[in-house]
A and B are shown apart, each in its own frame.
Chain A
Amino acid sequence: MDETGIIKNDNYSIQFLEKEHRIIFRGTMRLKDYEYRKTINTDLISLSSRLGDFIELDVSQLEYLNSCGIASLSVYLTQMKEFDTSIRIVGSNSISWQVMSLDNFPLCHDRVEIIMQ
């Protein structure tokens, strides 16, 4: 993560807004599973532990996320359930993986709220 609170590569970025309890995803994440284990299931969980009992995940600008990524976010939410952290997910009605697959997330953590834009 750089000094502006952003994890990024050529295709995606994840921005942490600590005061606002927001994490914003942008771009395309079609990573291999071991890359998600670091990005989502290590770094994101570590940073989220600093954000307290509520986090907003804004994925409305994340155009593509492959199944490994959806699984990794599901594992992340399972961990957030253990932390007793409420999650609001902001999605887009024009992005396929969000229209089709966001409903999996409340299956992993009953305090997940989904808002579609």
Chain B
Amino acid sequence: MIPSISGAAAKTLMNITDPEMNGTEYMTLDTIIGDAIDLDKAYNNKLYLSLVPENVLSQWSRVSDVANFIADFYGHDLPSRLAHNTISTVLNELIENAVKFACHKGVPIDIYTFKNGNEFIFRVTNTVSEGTIDDFSRLCSTLFSQDLNRLYIQRIEDLYHNRAKTGIGLILLKKDYRMDINFGFSRMGGHLALTVTAKIKVE
């Protein structure tokens, strides 16, 4: 079931619409945990892609292809080569996670990109199992409350001792890239869905 979670910033029943997309409601999130990210701002350069996880799992480099494509799409007016590299790096992490954690590998993953100047918002949605929601709920409670350097070291020690845990990618996005990140849980066509929204300003 979709969790009721305290801690961090939690909202319920948040409808997000985009008037420039003819008022299309592209996501309704029942629960949001994490940083506040304002999608009502004028993001004047948008891109939407959809891909099926099983088609990516059969050829893993397609994640990289998609991340590089989106970075190239915006590459014409990015402030630096480093900014292009950052867009690709961040998107690759978000899409890898969505493919790996997708519960139904035949249900498409949605990838939205919003750009306003040098500010980007990425929004990636995939199906999840109830177990994955529980895992993310636990990750959220640590991601938004613990010292992230210490959390990173704990995760590396877990890996070193073969106590594998997930979440390194999100820890790095939060810790190293200082991204605002939130997690939305919803129902999508009869499936449970996780939407990760992340914001970064590139230089």
- Assuming the contacts A63-B85, A107-B149, asked whether A75 and B156 have C-beta atoms less than 8 A apart, the reply is yes
A66–B92 Cα distance when bound, in Å, is: 8
Which residues of A are found within 8 Å of B155, using beta-carbon distances? 71
| B82 interface neighbour in A64, A96, A107, Cβ under 8 Å | A96
The digit string for A93-114, where 1 denotes a CB below 8 A from any CB of B, is: 1111101110110011000000
Q: From known contacts A67-B93, A107-B152, infer whether A101 and B172 are also in contact, taking CB-CB under 8 Å.
A: yes
The answer to whether B77 has its CB under 8 Å from any CB of chain A is: no
Separation of A30 and B168 alpha carbons in the complex (Å): 14
A11 at interface, CB cutoff 8 A: yes
| Other-chain contact of A96, B85, B157, B164 (Cβ < 8 Å) | B85
* Residue numbers in A under 8 Å from B86 (CB-CB): 96, 100
Beyond A66-B96, A67-B168, is A94–B85 a contact (Cβ under 8 Å)?
yes
Structural contact, B81 and A94, CB atoms closer than 8 A: yes
C-alpha spacing A70/B64, complex, angstroms: 16
Closest to B202 in A: A96
Q: Is A32 an interface residue (CB 8 A)?
A: yes
Report whether B176 and A94 are in contact in the complex, using a CB–CB cutoff of 8 Å.
no
- From residue A42, how far is it (CB to closest CB) to chain B in Å? 13
Chain A residues, Cβ within 8 Å of B96: 30, 66-67
Closest 3 A/B residue pairs (Cβ): A67-B169, A96-B86, A100-B176
Residues of B within 8 A of A (CB): 60-61, 63-64, 81-82, 85-86, 88-89, 92-93, 96, 149, 152-153, 155-157, 159-160, 164, 168-169, 172, 176-177
Name 12 extra pairs, CB < 8 A, besides A95-B82, A95-B85, A96-B85. Answer: A31-B60, A64-B85, A64-B89, A66-B169, A67-B172, A71-B155, A71-B168, A72-B159, A75-B159, A96-B89, A100-B86, A108-B156
State the A residues within 8 Å of B (CB): 11, 28, 30-33, 63-64, 66-68, 70-72, 74-75, 78-79, 93-97, 99-101, 103-104, 107-108
